[in-house]
């Protein structure tokens, strides 16, 4: 049975004081999480060290929102895998649609980052998803397949078992327009089918595929009830402990 993995992407919110307050709440609410549910928080870089300290020994795991594809060097403004690991990070979100849209990240660049994360022992949460125009143009499957193939290019079968894919339709991120459970399930099944083709059925059966896009406490249960939806990548609703907990508690019912 696959784990249910609920990750909160804090984006560019929360200073150190807010970080402490939110984490105390999340930690308390996640204390009763069963072992099949993994709860991850992904604060901004400036909060990672504090979060790592506050979460030590708790049920909540730490992730980052981005990472350089380089080990180190003259790359102003970038953060390496080594820096992330030194804060206690175990996960890293890669290729979020906001990184693709505002910072020009391509599948090829995300692929380099994913390989670097895997080589360093970080677990990548790799985001894919179509725009509204692409969905309306009837090319969702094609677009997502191209992204999945591009971001996974050259990743070995043994590394693939550690990859989390997040299907995040761009039109549903931060818009309040959630994909219906059937729409999300359809794309999740296509992604799993593609992974089976690229790797094997047993790897496809093992990997976690999260849904992201306006997940809230009141829609999480029906999304997570879908056979190929193994978790959620949550933006807006993870910024308050109660609403984030409402989502990961839905994961406990799965
Ligand atoms: C996200 O940022 O990955 C996201 C899914 O945001 P929201 O939940 O706010 O749509």
DSSP characters for the chain? -PPEEEEEE-TT---HHHHHHHHHHHHHHHTT--TTEEEEEE--HHHHHHHHHHHTTSSEEEEES---SSSSSS-TT---HHHHHHHT--EEEES-HHHHHHH---HHHHHHHHHHHHHHT-EEEEEE---HHHHHTT-HHHHHHHHHHHHHTT--HHHHTT-EEEE--GGGTTTS-PPPHHHHHHHHHHHHHHHHHHT-HHHHHHSEEEEESS--HHHHHHHHTSTT--EEEESGGGSSHHHHHHHHHHHHT-
pLDDT tens digit string along 102-152?
Answer: 999 999 999 999 999 999 999 999 999 999 999 999 999 999 999 999 999
Protein residue with its CA nearest to atom 3 in ligand 1 = 235
Token pair recorded at residue 114:
């994913």
pLDDT reported for residue 34? 83
Is the beta carbon of 234 within 6 A of some atom in ligand 1? yes
Protein residue with its CA nearest to atom 8 in ligand 1 = 235
In DSSP terms, which residues pair with 40 in a beta bridge? 7, 61
Determine whether 205 is exposed, middle or buried from the number of CB atoms within 10 Å of its CB (0-12, 13-18, 19+). exposed
User: Number of structural domains, the chain?
Assistant: 1
Query: Residues 152-156: what's their mean pLDDT?
Result: 98
User: Residue 210: which CATH number?
Assistant: 3.20.20.70
CA of 248 to the centre of ligand 1 (A): 15
Distance between CA 6 and CA 118 in Å, rounded? 20
CA of 175 to the centre of ligand 1 (A): 9
70 is catalytic: no
**Residue with structure tokens 């150190």?**
16
pTM passes above 0.75 = yes
With cut-offs at 50, 70 and 90, classify the pLDDT of residue 16: very high
pLDDT reported for residue 251? 79
Distance between CA 151 and CA 87 in Å, rounded? 26
pLDDT tens digit string along 76-89?
Answer: 999 999 999 999 99
* Annotated catalytic residue within 69, 96, 98, 130: 96
pLDDT tens digit string along 29-74?
Answer: 999 888 899 999 999 999 999 999 999 999 999 999 999 999 999 9
Residues 86, 6, 60, CA angle at the centre, nearest 5°? 45
* Annotated catalytic residue within 69, 98, 168, 188: 168
96 is catalytic: yes
With cut-offs at 50, 70 and 90, classify the pLDDT of residue 254: low
pLDDT tens digit string along 192-210?
Answer: 999 999 999 999 999 999 9
Distance between CA 16 and CA 22 in Å, rounded? 10
pLDDT reported for residue 114? 98
pLDDT reported for residue 35? 83
pLDDT reported for residue 33? 81
Domain residues for the domain of 241 are: 4-251
With cut-offs at 50, 70 and 90, classify the pLDDT of residue 253: confident
Q: Provide the mean pLDDT of the chain.
A: 96
With cut-offs at 50, 70 and 90, classify the pLDDT of residue 246: very high
């Amino acid at each position: 049975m696959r784990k249910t993995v609920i990750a909160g992407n804090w984006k560019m919110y929360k200073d150190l004081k807010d970080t402490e307050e939110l984490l105390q709440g999340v930690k308390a609410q996640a204390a009763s999480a069963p072992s099949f549910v993994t709860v991850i928080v992904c604060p901004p870089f400036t909060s990672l060290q504090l979060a790592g300290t506050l979460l030590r020994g708790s049920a909540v795991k730490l992730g980052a929102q981005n990472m350089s594809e380089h080990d180190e060097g003259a790359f102003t403004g970038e953060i390496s895998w080594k820096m992330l690991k030194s804060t206690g990070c175990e996960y890293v979100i890669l290729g979020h649609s906001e990184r693709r849209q505002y910072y020009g990240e391509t599948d090829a660049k995300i692929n380099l980052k994913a390989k670097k994360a895997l080589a360093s022992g970080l677990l990548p949460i790799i985001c894919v998803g179509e725009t509204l125009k692409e969905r309306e143009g009837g090319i969702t499957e094609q677009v997502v397949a191209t992204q999945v193939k591009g971001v996974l290019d050259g990743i070995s079968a043994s590394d693939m078992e550690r990859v989390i894919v997040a299907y995040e339709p761009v039109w549903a991120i931060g818009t309040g327009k959630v994909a219906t459970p059937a729409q999300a399930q359809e794309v999740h099944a296509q992604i799993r089918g593609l992974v089976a083709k690229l790797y094997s059925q047993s790897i496809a059966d093992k990997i976690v595929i999260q849904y992201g896009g306006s997940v809230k406490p009141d829609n999480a249960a029906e999304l997570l009830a879908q056979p190929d939806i193994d978790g959620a990548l949550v933006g807006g609703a993870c910024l308050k402990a109660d609403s984030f907990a409402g989502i990961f508690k839905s994961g406990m019912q799965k």
